[in-house]
Each structure stands twice: as structure tokens, then as C-alpha cells.
A and B are shown apart, each in its own frame.
Chain A
Amino acid sequence: QTVVTQEPSLTVSPGGTVTLTCASSTGAVTNNYYPNWFQQKPGQAPRALIYSTSNRHSWTPARFSGSLLGAKAALTLSGVQPEDEAEFYCLLYHGGTWMFGGGTKLTVL
């Protein structure tokens, strides 16, 4: 049973920088897992932020960036804004099927 793991919660100050990570129980996350990142605010549908490790969608602010960090996928938020407070989910491809991580609740405080 494959498991995708994220930090349950993180806190960051406004204007600060924070990195969220995403690991797979199958081994090191590589570009072949096509890592994706989504943001979800309470009562709303999720919104896509990053696809294929590091590509922003046309609507994604430049302060969001994706990368591989060691054996994990990573989402870095630089110059955090109060409106960035939300739940963040990664999504990994496992040869035909996809799997979400458990989500990271980001608090801006």
C-alpha cells in the first residue's frame, strides 16, 4: 500500500519563506512522479499551483515554486502573504494511478 507523506502542519510569518515537502513510500520522488501541488481554502474546491515538479500554471503567483529536494518533492513559498493560509496537497503519479498526500495545513501568523 503506497503512502504519500506531507508535514501535517507548518507555521510561517508574513513575508517569510516556507518549504513543504512530499515523500513517497515507494522510494525517492523523481520527475517521473510528475509532482503536482494544489491549494485548498475552507469551503472551496482545490486550485492547481504546480505541475510536473516545477511548472507554474498561468494563474500561479511567482512566489510559489516547485522543486525536488533530496528524495522528496518540495513547494516553496517566498514572501508569504496572509491569503496564502490554506491546506496544501501534493499529488504523485505511480505508473497509471495517482495519489495525494495527506495535506499540509499552512498557518500564516
Chain B
Amino acid sequence: QVQLVESGGGVVQPGRSLRLPCAASGFTFTNYAMHWVRQAPGKGLEWVAVISYDGSDKYYADSVKGRFTISRDNSKNTLFLQMNSLRPEDTAVYYCARARSFGAANSIDYWGQGSLVTVSS
């Protein structure tokens, strides 16, 4: 069965960096694009970024462009989100999610359980 497990969350000071990994199993990771989605406490879902199956295409929400980087290591079945210059408004549960197919224009079918990132001094 498809499993997506995020880790690396925690409390970080404004302006600092954090990297979130997402370990994938139960499917052929190299065949699928992957997304990151976040949800601030008590708020709605916000799409963050998507990466194609081979890492050649990446797209970002305007709110994180230039600060966050999505990447993947297909040899380790792992997706990453590098978050730099963090702001209090980046506080959220970050979900890793699988796309329905290999391209970045494919939407989400499976979700992880999320990892909470709190940006606070």
C-alpha cells in the first residue's frame, strides 16, 4: 500500500532554515510526480510545490518562490522540501502527497499524515 511519511518538523526561529524529508514506499517512486501542501493551524489547504518524476520540472506557489526548494532522491525514494528564510506565516502542517502520474500537471491521489513546522522566536 502507498505510504508517505514526513519527518523533520519542529520549532525554528524566524529567518532560519529547515529541511523536510518524506519517505515513500509501496509504489514505484520514480514513476510519479510529487507535491507539498501545507495547512496553517485552523486554516485551509495551501498548495506549495510540485516536482516531476525525474526532477526536471518544478513549480512553486508565489508565497514560497525564491525561499523554498523542492527536490527528490529517486535512489532513496525520498522527497524533500528545503525551507529557507522562514517566517511566522510559514507555520503549518506540511503534507507530502503523490501525484497521479509522472508529470507536474497531475493532481494528488495519496497523502502523508503531515509534519508540523512552527516558526517562532
A and B held together in a complex: yes
Which chain B residues lie closer than 8 Å to A86 at the CB level? none
**A63 at interface, CB cutoff 8 A:** no
Q: Which residues on A sit within 8 Å (CB–CB) of B95?
A: 45-46
Are the C-beta atoms of A57 and B109 separated by less than 8 Å?
Answer: yes
**In the bound complex, do residue A45 and residue B105 qualify as a contact, i.e. CB atoms below 8 Å apart?**
no
Q: Tally inter-chain residue pairs, CB-CB below 8 A.
A: 61
- Cβ contacts B76-110/A at 8 Å (1 or 0 each): 00000000000000000001000010001101111
| Residues of A within 8 A of B (CB-CB), count | 24
Q: Are B110 and A91 in contact (CB under 8 A)?
A: no
- Please tell me if the beta carbons of A47 and B59 are within 8 angstroms of each other in the complex: no
Contact of A97 among B45, B60, B109, B112 (CB under 8 A): B60
- Report the bound CA distance from A36 to B97 in whole Å: 14
B109: chain A residues within 8 A (beta carbon): 48, 51, 57
Cα A93 to Cα B50 with chains together (Å): 12
Q: Determine if B45 and A45 form an interchain contact, defined as CB atoms under 8 angstroms apart.
A: no
Closest to B35 in A: A98
What separation, in Å, do the CA atoms of A40 and B105 have in the docked complex? Answer: 23
Closest to B58 in A: A96
A64 within 8 Å of B by Cβ? no
Question: Is the CB–CB distance between B44 and A103 below 8 Å?
Answer: yes
Q: Which of the residues A45, A51, A100 comes within 8 Å of B47, measured between beta carbons?
A: A100
Among B35, B44, B45, B111, the most chain A Cβ lie within 10 Å of the Cβ of B45
The 3 A-B pairs at the shortest CB distance, nearest first, are namely: A103-B44, A98-B47, A45-B111
Whether the pair A91, B108 counts as a contact (CB closer than 8 A) is: yes
**Is B59's CB under 8 angstroms from A91's CB?**
no
In whole angstroms, how far apart are the Cα atoms of A68 and B113 in the complex?
31
Question: Quick check: B47 and A97 within 8 Å, CB to CB?
Answer: yes
Q: A20: shortest Cβ distance to chain B, in Å?
A: 14
Q: A89–B39 Cα gap in the complex (Å)? A: 12
